[in-house]
Structure 1
Amino acid sequence: MRAAFASRTDADNPLAALTVGEQPEPVHPDDDWVTVQVRASSLNHHDIWSLRGVGLPADRLPMILGCDAAGIDPDGNEVVVYPLIADPGDPRGISILSEHFPGTFAERVAVPRSSLLPLPAGMSLTDAACLPTAWLTAWRMLTTKGRVDDAAAVLVQGAGGGVATAAVALAVAMGKRVYATSRDAAKRARIAELGATAVEPGARLPERVDVVIETVGAATFDHSLKSAAPMARIVVSGATAGHEPTVNLRRVFAMQLEIVGTSMGTCDELRDLLTFCAQRKVRPVVDSVVPFSRIEDAFAQLHAGTVFGKLVVDHTA
C-alpha cells in the first residue's frame, strides 16, 4: 500500500529521511485490532522529530509516520482515530502511532477497536483529522490541567503552531479573554481574526492571566511567569525554543503559581473535544489541505516553520 515513512533518520536534514512508496499491509497484534481506511490525516512536529531519530531508533525502521487520522472502519462507519496505544514495552506504558506501531500516513492503519470514535454529525473528515494530537493536547492543557473554567483570561505563547493556535480557538470559544504572542506580524493579524488580542513576545499585557499555555520554552518562559496572576496555572507541553529556561523561584512561591506539564490526552478527553467542537461549531484552523501525492511538500512546509494552524493530507486525492 502507498505510505509515507521514515526509511532512515537524519538529525541534520530530516526531510532527506522521508520516503513515499510501498509498505506492507497493516498487521493486527491482537484480535481486538481492526483496519481503518484512512481518508484524511494531518502533520505534527512529532513527524519531523521522528525523521530526526528522536524516539525512533534504527531497529524500528522503516516506520510509517503520522499520528492523526479520520476514515472508515470495517463496518463502514466514519471514525476518528485516537492515536495513543497501550504499550507495555514503552516506559510510559503507552506510545503514539508511528513510534512502536505504524502510523497514519498510509492507505490503511491498524488500531485497537477501542481507539475509534464516531465522527460527529456535520464534521468533515479533514477537520476531524486535525484533532487527535495538537487539538487534544490544547484541550487537555486548558481543561484538565489549566482548569480554565475557573479562569477569566488566558495567555497563549507562540500562536501559529498547531497546539497554540488550537488553544486560542478553543479558549475564545469558551468565552475567555485570550492574549496570544507571535514574532510574525502576519501571524499576529491572523490570531486577531480568531478573536484573541495578539501581542509581540514579551509585551506587557493589560492584565495578569489565570492560565498560560506554554509550548515555546526558554524563549518565552520568563514572560509567562511575569504574566501570571496569583495562583495561576502555567501549562507546558513543548519546548521548541529551549528546554532549560531560567525560573525565578521566588515569583513561583510568592505568587503561588502552578507549573504543570502535559502531553496529549485521554480517549474520553478526545470524545469531549469532538462533542465541544460539534456543539459550538468550532472548526480547526487549517493552513492548507494537500493531496497525498504532495505529502513531501507538506513536510517541507512544516519544517520551514511557515505553517499557521494544521496541514491536512487528503488521502482520497
Structure 2
Amino acid sequence: MLAAAAVATHPDDPLAGLAVGEQPERPVPDGWMTVSVRAAALNHHDLFSLRGVGLPAERLPMILGCDAAGVTEDGREVIVHAVIGDPAVAGGDETLDPKRTLLSELHPGTLAERVAVPARNLVPKPASLTWEEAACLPTAWLTAYRMVINRAGLPADGGGTLLVQGAGGGLATAAILLAKAAGHTVFVTSRDEGKRKRALDLGADVALETGARLPRRVDAVIETVGAATWRHSVGSLRPGGRIVCSGATSGDGPPAELTRIFFLQLSVVGSTMGTREELVDLVAFLDRTGIRPVIDEIRPLAAARTSFERLARGDAYGKLVLTV
C-alpha cells in the first residue's frame, strides 16, 4: 500500500531517510481494527522519528504518522487516537503507562492508505468536522487541549491570562483558539511579524516579539520552545503561576531559573499528548464552539515529501494535511 515511511534515520538530514511509495502491511493483532485513512496530518514527531529519536534502526522501515481520520471496515467514520497504552496501569491515564508508545514508534503509523489500531483507540468523527479537520486533532490539538484546559490551572469559567510561546505551529495555533474559546486572555510571541499578525487574526489579544515584556504577568505559559524562551516564560508568570511544558524544539539546556521559581512559588508541569477521553472531550468542544484547526496546506499522500520539506523548513502556519 502507498505510505510515507522512514527507511533510514539521519540526525542531521532527516528527509534523506524518507520514502514515499509502496510498503507492506503487517498482520493485524487480535483486538485491533483496520481503518481506511481519508486524511492524515504531519507533526514534528515525524521529523524526530526520521532523525532516529525513539526509532532505532532495527524497527525500520517504519510507516510514519500519528494523526488520521478514516472509515472502519464496518463503515464507521472515526478519528484515530495515537497513544497505545493500558489506562488500567496508571489510574485511567494511558499516557502514564510506562510501556505506552505512539503510532509510528512500535507500530506502523497513519501516513498510509490503511492503519491498524486497538479498537479502543477509535473515536467517532462528528459530521460537523471534515476529514481534514478531524485528522488534525489526535496529536497537536489533543496536546494543546490537555495543556490549556486540563493542565494550566486556568479558571474553568474563563477570565484567565495565558502566554503562548512561538505562535505559528499546529500546537500553538490550537492553544490560541482553545484558550479564546474558553474565555481567556491570550498573549503570543513570535520572531516572525507575519505569524504575529496571523495570531491576532485568530483572536490573540496581544502579539509580541519573542522575549518582549508583556503588558502584565500571566497565570500560565504554554511552553514548547525550550532553551530560547524558557527565561522569558519564567519571568512572565505572576506569583503562583504555572508553566505547562510539552516540548523543547530549541533545546532543553536553559538556566533553570530556580531562584525565581521557588521565591515566586511557580509551578512547572510536564504534559504529553492526552487520553482517549480527552480526545472525545476535544471533539465535543470543537463541535460545540465551532472552532476549527488552522490548515496551512492539503496535499495527496503521494506528494508527502513536499509537505515534509515545508515541515522541516518551519514555514507553515497551522497543520499540513495529506489526503488518501
TM-score (norm 2): 0.94
Tell me the CA shift for residue 26 of structure 1.
Answer: 4.1
Matched, 1:53 2:52: yes
- 1:28 alignment partner in structure 2: 28
- Aligned-residue CA RMSD in angstroms? 1.4
Mapped to 2, the partners of 1:178 and 1:242 lie a distance apart of 25
- 2:249 alignment partner in structure 1: 240
- 2:13 alignment partner in structure 1: 13
The count of corresponding residues between Structure 1 and Structure 2 is: 313
Letter in 2 for 1:262: S
Letter in 2 for 1:84: V
Letter in 2 for 1:302: L
Unaligned runs of 5+ in 2: 90-95
Q: How does 1:107-256 map to 2 (within 5 A)?
A: 107-149=113-155, 152-196=160-204, 197-256=206-265
Mapped to 2, the partners of 1:36 and 1:149 lie a distance apart of 38
> SS where residue 155 of structure 2 aligns?
helix
Tell me the CA shift for residue 25 of structure 1.
Answer: 2.2
> SS where residue 239 of structure 1 aligns?
coil
Q: How does 1:287-306 map to 2 (within 5 A)?
A: 287-306=296-315
TM-score (norm 1): 0.96
Unaligned runs of 5+ in 1: none
- 1:78 alignment partner in structure 2: 77
- 2:92 alignment partner in structure 1: none
Q: Deviations over 1:177-235 (max 9, x none)?
A: 10000000111110110111111111111111111000000110111111101111100
Mapped to 2, the partners of 1:117 and 1:140 lie a distance apart of 17
Aligned 8 A contact 1:26 1:108 in 2: no
Mapped to 1, the partners of 2:35 and 2:244 lie a distance apart of 34
Mapped to 1, the partners of 2:74 and 2:238 lie a distance apart of 50
Tell me the CA shift for residue 164 of structure 1.
Answer: 1.4
Aligned 8 A contact 1:135 1:163 in 2: yes
Q: How does 1:238-277 map to 2 (within 5 A)?
A: 238-277=247-286
- 2:36 alignment partner in structure 1: 37
Mapped to 1, the partners of 2:244 and 2:146 lie a distance apart of 10
Letter in 2 for 1:22: E
> Runs in 1 of length 4+ with deviation above 6 angstroms?
none
> SS where residue 178 of structure 1 aligns?
strand
Aligned 8 A contact 2:142 2:273 in 1: yes
Letter in 2 for 1:179: F
> SS where residue 100 of structure 1 aligns?
coil
Aligned 8 A contact 1:137 1:264 in 2: yes
Tell me the CA shift for residue 249 of structure 1.
Answer: 1.6
Q: Deviations over 1:233-289 (max 9, x none)?
A: 100001011201112222111211100111100000000000001110010011111
